[in-house]
Amino acid sequence: MPGDRGFLPVDPLVPELLARCDFPPAGTTVTCALSGGPDSSALTALAVAAGLIVNAVHVDHGLRAHSSDDADAAQSIAADLGISCRVVRVDLSDGPNLEARARAARRAAIGAAALTGHTADDQAETVLLALFRGSGATGLAGIRHGPTKPIIRLRRADTHRLCKQLGLSIVDDESNDDPRFRRNRIRHELLPLAKEIFDRDVSVLIERAANLLRDDDELLDELADAIDPTDAVAIAAAPLPLARRALRRWLTDDGYPPNAAAIERVLGVARGEAAACDVAGGRRVHRSRQRLRLSL
């Protein structure tokens, strides 16, 4: 149930945004990741308005001097929405791969099934990051739509507008402006420049391209599923795009696929060009009796 303010059921913006969301049926129990920022706050408010039983979780990484203020803000927002918010503190130090380590810590704290406030703007940034990493169709398809990304079709402007209209006291995470992180430079420099060059909202175009690539990617996944990635003969004989895809899906570890160079090395093993090779995470693939075997 909404909090004492009672604004959620009557505010006209709420049903307008809910019509573009993909929340589960009313009465479903969900966990919402609530940072206290506009996207996660809008996510949580809309989940409550959709009639879900919402458990909010705030992850305090302890990286900023006033990170406890964010936790207090998240609990205050939750109270305004008539729900509780659990705070989980994780031990995370600044340094290399900070974004990836922070994502992993959040995922461990909130669980894989938790709802997150990714928007269409996050989608555009993710696709561009994948493009500049040299990703294939899977990376360029961006963030997968699904039950854990219910507001992926909303824009960042929508979440800000909703929080303002509902009077939620959101926090501003200054790390979102830190130029050390490539995503921030794409957000604040590259996308505005592209908008100026093309004189239109390029995020919409990027999302459209990602949707088209996602359809192609899903078809290729279905075709690759028919190939046994441990059958060296089948891998060597398969069309190269499908062979690579079958191996990538087999060797993906905790959501992270091996890089292109590792896949090419495994293909060499399948063809008999090498007896064994190393792949990501200290793992090794070798060929024995026409089978590819994975070992640590």
Q: Which residue has the higher pLDDT, 46 or 101?
A: 46
- What pLDDT sits at residue 98? 67
Element (H, E) at 12: none
Going by CATH, does the domain composed of 13-115+150-177 fall within 3.30.110.30? no
pLDDT over 70 (residue 288): yes
pLDDT for the residue numbered 1: 39
Helix (H) or strand (E) holding 21: none
pTM: 0.82
Q: What is the pLDDT of residue 3?
A: 44
Give the highest mean pLDDT range of 110-114, 176-180, 224-228: 224-228
What is the predicted pLDDT for the residue at 6? 46
Q: What is the mean pLDDT of the chain?
A: 90
The segment(s) of the chain belonging to CATH 3.40.50.620 are: 13-115+150-177
- What pLDDT is stored for residue 138 in this prediction? 86
Judged against a pLDDT cut of 70, whether residue 292 lies above it is answered with yes
Q: Give residue-wise pLDDT tens across range 142-199.
A: 999 999 999 999 999 999 999 999 999 999 877 788 888 899 999 999 999 999 999 9
Beta-sheet strands, E only, within the chain:
29-33, 53-60, 85-89, 276-279, 283-288, 291-295
d(CA 67, CA 20): 32
